[in-house]
Amino acid sequence: MPYISNTEKQQQEMLDAIGVKSVEDLFKPVPKDFAPASFRIPKGKSEIEVRQHLHALASKNATGLTCFLGGGFYDHFIPSAVDALVSRSEFYTAYTPYQPEISQGVLQAIYEYQTAICRLTGMDISNASIYDGGTALYEAAMMAARITKRKKIIVCEGVSLIYRTMLRSYTKNLYLNFVEVPVSPNGTADREKIFREIDKDTAAVILQNPNFFGCIDDFSDIAQKAHSAGALAVCSVYPISLGLLKPPSEMGMDIVTGEGQSLGLPLSFGGPYFGFLATTKQHVRQMPGRVVGRTHDKEGRQGFVFTLQTREQHIRREKATSNICTNSTLNTIAATIYLSLIGKNGLKEVAALCANKAGYACQKLTRIKNVKKKFAAPFFNEFVVELPIDANNAVSALIDKGFAPGLPLGRFYKGMDNCMLVAVTEKRTKEEIGHLKEALEGVLKDE
């Protein structure tokens, strides 16, 4: 039997030592009438067969499409050293570092991760991670409600539609009052509408930069307005963009979250990823999840431990700041390795490459007759084009030509049937962008 070490002979020796006849005797505490009604599971396979089966399944997926699909999840370059290092089984076969003396590797890596997130976002403190960007944003909303003891959460529609649908499900069950505010015609946050909603019941205003349409904003004025009403400002950010863009700390944000996938993790059909959550010193005790601190042993040697654990479920039970326990440690180690390899200058370059290539792609695509840029606001590496035809039709035709050309927005936003969200990363080349332009031109001509 795979993965079971003891031979039948050994099993018998152990049964003898215990003083029972058979393994069945050990299951005596289980009442007889608890036996399974059925257990129709196929017979076990060999490693050869499993590999063949999974190869066949993997090949039923379309890879090799040139990817211009983003929406918060991007086809970025991952240096080979990232996977080589997180494949060290001392990392991946360990659990949460409950015994710090033999877990300094993971603990120090988390401390380095917290440092990297703080330096990227400009915030004071980062936790050890949340499951993904969406659950991180939900935890931020909950945290704001706890801090302000208020229930109204204002969310700009520039926030990822995926995250908004998640927030809606969570808040429905958590009795928070959830208000969504549309973006202004230029694609950025609508100040007038948001300011009108901010009141003495408001716990938080939730924003995103760049927003779902790729548009860049400076939310300093909104944060100020929120603060003057006693509310918090929360922003979800795209970490790669922070190689170039103003960090959220400089806009006065109280809680910053984001999706970590772009920092060295494969797309992998939606996970596993990780979410980050960073905040100011003032709010550290209301922060959810685990956090690592630096300390020392009796001999004065530096070491790392989980700290501020009195916020957490294993001690506080129903009074904890969150129910989170396991997070996404291995993926944060991957991100820390990625950020170390890319480094201070590399991150700036990756961000600039993305922005330059997206600028070029936008220029190329909007040179096609009747293809327009939808929003006037400046963008980072993603932008919306309005086509003369239903974007769904264009996308289907472009898939056949070997592209994942972007996300049609009609399903998610009223009046945007002809709109497509296009993302460009440092991996795309001038040639690929040129081919996309030609292919789209061809599709529109055929229509």
Partner 1 sequence: MKLIFEKGVKGRRGVKLPECDVPVKFDIPRNFHRANDAELPEVSELEVVRHYTELSRRNFGVDNNFYPLGSCTMKYNPKIDEEVCRYKGFTELHPLLPQLRHGGMLTQGALEVIYNTERLLSEITGMAEFTMQPLAGAHGELTGTMIIAAYHRDKGNKKTKIVVPDSSHGTNPASAAICGYSIVSVPSNSEGMIDYDAFVKAIDSETAAVMLTCPNTLGLFEPEIKKLAQKVHEVDGLMYCDGANMNAILGKVRPGDIGFDLMHINLHKTFATPHGGGGPGAGPVGVVEKLRKFLPISLVVKRNDGTYALDYDRPSSIGFIAPFYGNFGIILRAYCYILMLGKEGLARVSENAVLNANYIKEKLKKYYQVAHDPIACMHECVFSSVKQNKNGVHTLDIAKRLIDYGFHPPTIYFPLIVKEAIMIEPTETESKETLDAFIETMIKISQESESEPETVKSAPKTTPVSRLDEVAAAKDMDLRF
Cα end-to-end span (Å), the chain? 60
Among 119, 193, 227, 435, binds partner 1 (CB under 8 A): 119
**In the numeric block, which tokens belong to residue 270?**
């939606």
Taking CB under 8 A as the binding criterion, the range among 16-24, 183-191, 197-205, 435-443 that sits at the site for partner 1 is: 16-24
* Binding flag, residue 26, partner 1 (CB under 8 A): yes
Among 252, 284, 389, 413, binds partner 1 (CB under 8 A): 284
Among 353, 371, 419, 443, binds partner 1 (CB under 8 A): 353
* Binding flag, residue 356, partner 1 (CB under 8 A): yes
- Nearer to partner 1 (CB atom), residue 234 or residue 433: 433
Closest to 70 (Cα-Cα) out of 358, 275, 393, 392: 358
Q: Where are the beta strands (DSSP E) in 104-210?
A: 125-126, 152-156, 177-181, 202-209
The CA-atom distances, in angstroms, between 113 and each of 291, 307, 333 are 11, 15, 7
Among 152, 225, 290, 374, binds partner 1 (CB under 8 A): 290
CB of 358 to partner 1, least distance (A): 7
Which residues, 6+ apart, have CB-to-CB distance to 174 below 8 Å? 142
Instruction: Name the β-bridge partners of 71.
Output: none
CB of 195 to partner 1, least distance (A): 21
Among 31, 192, 415, 445, binds partner 1 (CB under 8 A): 31
- Nearer to partner 1 (CB atom), residue 75 or residue 386: 75
* Binding flag, residue 43, partner 1 (CB under 8 A): yes
Closest to 371 (Cα-Cα) out of 334, 398, 402, 340: 398
Q: Cβ of 349: how many Cβ atoms within 10 Å?
A: 14
* Binding flag, residue 8, partner 1 (CB under 8 A): no
* Binding residues among 176-195 for partner 1 as defined by CB under 8 A: none
* Binding flag, residue 11, partner 1 (CB under 8 A): yes
- Nearer to partner 1 (CB atom), residue 198 or residue 247: 247
Residue the block writes with tokens 């993305």: 354
* Binding flag, residue 419, partner 1 (CB under 8 A): no
Among 140, 158, 170, 235, binds partner 1 (CB under 8 A): 170
- Give the whole-angstrom CA distance, residue 179 versus residue 168: 9
**In the numeric block, which tokens belong to residue 317?**
């039970």
Residue the block writes with tokens 């040129």: 434
* Binding flag, residue 155, partner 1 (CB under 8 A): no
* Binding residues among 204-263 for partner 1 as defined by CB under 8 A: 216-218, 242-247, 250, 259
Among 66, 76, 131, 145, binds partner 1 (CB under 8 A): 131
Among 336, 374, 387, 419, binds partner 1 (CB under 8 A): 336
CA 331 from chain centre, in angstroms, equals 11
Among 179, 229, 267, 389, binds partner 1 (CB under 8 A): 267
φ and ψ of 12, to 5 deg = -65, -40
* Binding residues among 49-108 for partner 1 as defined by CB under 8 A: 50-51, 53-63, 65, 67, 69, 71-73, 75, 77, 79, 81, 83-85, 87-106, 108
Among 144, 162, 204, 440, binds partner 1 (CB under 8 A): 162
Taking CB under 8 A as the binding criterion, the range among 148-156, 185-193, 338-346, 438-446 that sits at the site for partner 1 is: 338-346
* Binding flag, residue 319, partner 1 (CB under 8 A): yes
CB of 196 to partner 1, least distance (A): 25
**In the numeric block, which tokens belong to residue 253?**
């944000």
Residue 23 burial by Cβ neighbours in a 10 Å radius (0-12, 13-18, 19+)? exposed
30-45: string of b/e by CB count within 10 Å (b at 16+)?
A: eeeeeeeeeeeeeeee
- Give the whole-angstrom CA distance, residue 132 versus residue 335: 13
The DSSP element (H or E) to which 278 belongs, if any, is strand 275-279
Closest to 69 (Cα-Cα) out of 438, 424, 443: 424
How many residues contact partner 1, by CB under 8 A? 212
- Using DSSP, state whether 123 is helix, strand or coil: coil
- Nearer to partner 1 (CB atom), residue 198 or residue 432: 432
- Nearer to partner 1 (CB atom), residue 90 or residue 199: 90
CB of 192 to partner 1, least distance (A): 21
